[in-house]
Structure 1
Amino acid sequence: MRNLIFTAVLAFAGLFGLSAQAAEFEAGKQYTVLSTPVPVSQPGKIEVVELFWYGCPHCYAFEPSINPWIAKLPADVNFHRIPAMFGGIWNVHGQLFLTLDAMGVEHKVHTAVFDAIHKEGKKLATPEEMADFLAGQGVDKDKFLSTYDSFAIKGQIEKDKKLAMAYQISGVPTMVINGKYRFDIGSAGGPEKALELADFLIAKEREAAKGAQ
C-alpha cells in the first residue's frame, strides 16, 4: 500500500510539474508549432534536433549547457545535431561536421573544432586546412579528405538542407522537438530556459504517446 501511495505521489508530482511548466511556456511565444510536422529519423523515439553552425558564437556559448543535458537524456529520446547551411562558410563547416559524423569521430573532436574557430582564430575554410588541423586531433588526414568529397556526404548535405527548410529555421542555435515544435535560444529566454523548454516538450510528447496507446 505504501508503494502504491508513493507511486501515486510521484505521478501527481510529475503532472503538477508539467502543468506548472505549461503555464510558463506558451505556443506562439517561447516556441512555434510547425504547421506540417517533419518525420523523425527513429520512429518510436522522441527526437531532439539541434541546428547549429561551428562559426556561431551563440552555438559555442550554448555548448557548456547543452552537452551535460544531452549526456543525461533518457533512452526514449534520440538526440542529433544538424548543421545549418545558409551558403558560403556555413556550407563548408556543415560539410566538415557531416564528414566527421560519417567517420564516427565527431564526438571526439566536436569541442576541439569549436575551440579552434572561437579560441584559436582558425577559419577551417578549406578541406586541406581542416585535414591538417584534424590530423593533430588523431583523425586520419587522407581518410578525411576522401570522405569529405564523397558522394555520400554530398547526398547528406542535400538531405539536411531540406530538413532545415522543413523546420523553417532562420538562425541558430535552434532546437526542434519530435518534428513538431521549434524554438531558438532567444525566444526560450536563454540557454537554461531553452533546455527547460526542451524538457517540457519532451514530456508533452511522452504523455501524448501514452494517451494514444
Structure 2
Amino acid sequence: MTPIFRRLLLVVFACGLPLMAVRAADPAPPPPAFQEGKEYGKLTTPMPPMVAGKPEVIEFFSYNCPHCHDLEPTAQEWLKRKPNDVQFIRVPVSFNPSWEVTSRAYYVAESLGVLEKMHRPLFEAIHRDKRSLASEDEVAALFVENGVDEAAFRKAYKSFQTETQMRRANQLVQRYGVRGVPMLVVNGQYDVRSPRMFEVVDFLLAR
C-alpha cells in the first residue's frame, strides 16, 4: 500500500464515510393530504382578514340551500374543536328575493342575541318541515314560536343595523366571487372545494 493511498484511507474513515459506500437518498416527502386545484383553490384576489392578525374561516351560506343544511352538523362538530384563535364568520347570501328574507332573519337573530336559538330552527323549518319562509310574516311566526318577542323581531327586521349588514354581506359576496353555496374561505386566500370541507379547512389552517 502506497503512502498516498494509506493517507486517503485515513481521511475517508476520519470523516465517517466507509470506503466505496454510497449514502442512500432521503426518501421523498409524502404528498400533501390535499392538493391545490383539486380540494381547494387559491383566490384570484386575496382579501385581508376581517380581524387583523387572526386566522379566519368564512362560510357563505343560505338557510334555503339544501347543501348548507346538510353541512351544518359537520360545521357544528368542527366548531367544538376549532382553535380558539380562529375566527369563524358566517355570511348569508341572497341570490334571489326569497333568500333575502332568511338572510335578514340571520342578522335579526344575531342582533337580538338569539342566533344560537334560531340558527338550527331556520334550517329545519325549510328542509325538514317544508315551511315557506319567503316573507317577513312567515319568518316572524317562526321566531315567535321559539320564544322571541314579535315586536322586537319586526323592529330589528327593518332596522338600520340590519340594512347595513345586508349591504355588507352583498359586498362580500361580490368581492369573493361567490357563485354557489356552501363556500368556505380560509384566511382570505383559499376557497374549499372538497366534500371533506372542514378537513381541508384544518389542513389549510395548519399551513
CA contact (8 A) 1:147 1:153 kept: yes
Match of residue 96 from structure 2: 87
Q: Quick one: which of 87, 98, 111 aligns to 2:107?
A: 98
- TM-score if structure 2 supplies the norm length? 0.82
**Which structure 2 residue ranges, 5 or more long, are not aligned?**
1-28
Over 4 Å off, 4+ runs = none
Q: Deviations over 1:31-89 (max 9, x none)?
A: 12112222222112111111111011111111111111112111110102110111221
CA contact 2:98–2:135 (8 Å) conserved in 1: no
1:24 deviation in Å? 3.1
Distance 1:89 1:126 in 2: 7
Compare CA radii of gyration and give the structure with the larger one: 2
Alignment check: 8 A CA contact 2:68 2:181 kept? yes
Q: Output one character per residue of 1:142-193: Cα deviation in whole Å (capped at 9) or x when no partner.
A: 111111111111111111111111111110111001111112xxx31x2xx2
- The number of equivalent residue pairs is 179
Give, in whole Å, the separation in 1 of the partners of 2:130 and 2:78: 28
Match of residue 138 from structure 2: 129
- Alignment match of 2:44 (pick from 35, 41, 53): 35
Partner secondary structure for residue 104 of structure 1:
coil
What is the distance in 2 between the residues matched to 1:36 and 1:83? 21
Contact 1:92-1:126 within 8 A present in 2 as well: yes
1:71 corresponds to which residue? 80
Query: Hey, what's the Cα distance between the residues in 2 that align with 1:43 and 1:63?
Result: 27
The alpha-carbon deviation at position 120 of structure 1 amounts to 1.0
Comparing both structures, which one devotes a greater share of its residues to helix?
A: 1
- RMSD of the TM alignment (CA)? 1.4
Report the secondary structure of 1:175's partner residue: strand
Percent of paired sites with the same residue? 36
Task: Normalising by structure 1, report the TM-score.
Answer: 0.80
Structure 1, unaligned runs of 5 or more:
1-18, 205-213
